[in-house]
A and B are shown apart, each in its own frame.
Chain A
Amino acid sequence: MSGRVPACENVLLVQAELDGELDAAQAAALEAHRADCPICQAAQQELLRARALVRGEPYAAMPDDVRARVMARLRQTAPPAALPPRRRWRWDWLRGPSLGFGLGAACAAAISLLVLLPGNNDLVDQIVASHVRALQPGHLEDVVSTDQHTVKPWFDGRIDFAPPVRDFAAEGFPLKGGRLDYLGGRPVAALVYQRDKHIIDLYVWPEGGAGPHLTSDTAIHGYNVVHWTADGMNFRAVSDVERGQLDAFAALWQKP
């Protein structure tokens, strides 16, 4: 157990057994293998050592003052029920199609339209997941530049279309860079913007075929997603900024 890549593929099973992830049959099979595999025997010893080191550590208690400040902050936060109706039906929609029944006819029609559009929900999930993944260290930008004339040519040769790149630093949405990403199995351009203490990812790809011009928007786990199309391109912006700010960002893009 010295290299980064385990020398016996079963060492991950040794670990899984230690973590209580194997059923009895799998454990028995592993036991039979391990009896003759010095690599797995050594792996088990080292895993047990690593576990003993960590398991001795107490759970750090949360200081009372931190708890008090968190509670105070929560008390100031408006409960979901106090938010405007427009936001609420969007959540209701997220809970599932069956919830549409209790709502007004107009809302219900809008909701069923959203629910019936194939793939829309998956794509939103993918966009949020991709955005969060990109926030991990070293994943945010492949080209780091606040200059649209640097970011735009970077996509040449990396992607089969030329995404529009604009900087809105003057309006409070400075461009930070760009990267290549994948959504629904196709490469897309991701432009990275900053708004105060938040990151906005803008995914751009060409409109394919007769897709509906969705202007739906949604929120998942605190991330807002807005969508628009222009000049034959799909745009989807995702961020944890407030909805109003993301709308302002979208409006800037849609200004000629």
Chain B
Amino acid sequence: MPNASGDASFERVVLPHLDAAYNLARWLMRDGEAAEDVLQEAMVRALTYFASFKGVNPRAWLLQIVRNTAYGSMALNRGHESVPLAEESDAASAVELVSCDDNPETALLRTRESRQVRTLIAALPVELRETLVLREFEEFSYKEIAEATQTPIGTVMSRLWRARQLLAQAAAAEGLP
């Protein structure tokens, strides 16, 4: 992003985490359009307040902003919750999810299972979902999750526990391996 912000360090420090920000916004909002709105607002906020960032973990800082922006958006749209990711077009997610190493048969199977798993994650209550996503996709430590979600570590641990338990049980009920 040459000259975009007039501040090379924002580009160097924050922009490498744009994909992570997008991913979290997707998982929280469960809808591509709403996620993009949240991402845009969060990135502008991050750029504006980058000067006050003094921590050592820009990823956790950015994801905290994304998460707060997402909650703000949800608070306004309460009652009009987005439909979970399951409704997304099959073709699009199939392309997105297939890995190159798979042969066509495995790929198809994987895609179907993958969609089921993603649907189950999307169905988790939002505070469990965000904790699980930060742990499993971002590989955040408990401390980082606590920071990004402004939640005590004990609560992070029990949310993670409940998220995994609900997920494992739902997967078993759907016959997933």
Contact = CB atoms under 8 A, between A and B. Distances in A.
Interface stretch (A57-65, A101-109, A146-154, A155-163): A57-65
A137 B30 CA distance: 15
B40 A240 contact: no
A188 B129 CA distance: 30
Contacts of A222: 45, 48-49, 65, 68
Given A11-B161, A199-B76, A69 B36 contact: yes
Given A70-B39, A74-B4, A54 B68 contact: no
B13 interface: no
Nearest to A65: B36
Contacts of A27: none
A75 B78 CA distance: 31
B165 A197 contact: no
Contact of B52 (A56, A83, A95, A132): A95
Contacts, number: 173
A221 interface: yes
Interface residues of B, number: 65
Contacts of B110: 56
A127 to B, nearest CB: 13
Given A49-B168, A57-B118, A135 B71 contact: yes
Contacts of B136: 51, 54-55, 57
Contacts of A20: 141
A194 B76 contact: yes
Contact of B18 (A16, A60, A70, A219): A70
A82 B168 contact: no
A81 interface: yes
A84 to B, nearest CB: 13
Contacts of B40: 69-70, 73
Contact of B117 (A21, A57, A136): A57
A5 to B, nearest CB: 9
A133 interface: yes
B171 A49 contact: yes
Contacts of A132: 68, 71, 150
B12 to A, nearest CB: 14
Interface in A58-113: 58-62, 66-67, 69-71, 73-75, 77, 79-83, 88, 91, 94-96
Interface of B: 1, 3-7, 10, 18-19, 22-23, 26, 36, 39-40, 43-45, 47-52, 54, 64-65, 68-69, 71-72, 74-76, 78, 96-97, 99, 110, 113-114, 117-118, 120-121, 126-127, 132, 135-137, 141-142, 150, 157-158, 160-162, 164-165, 167-168, 171, 176
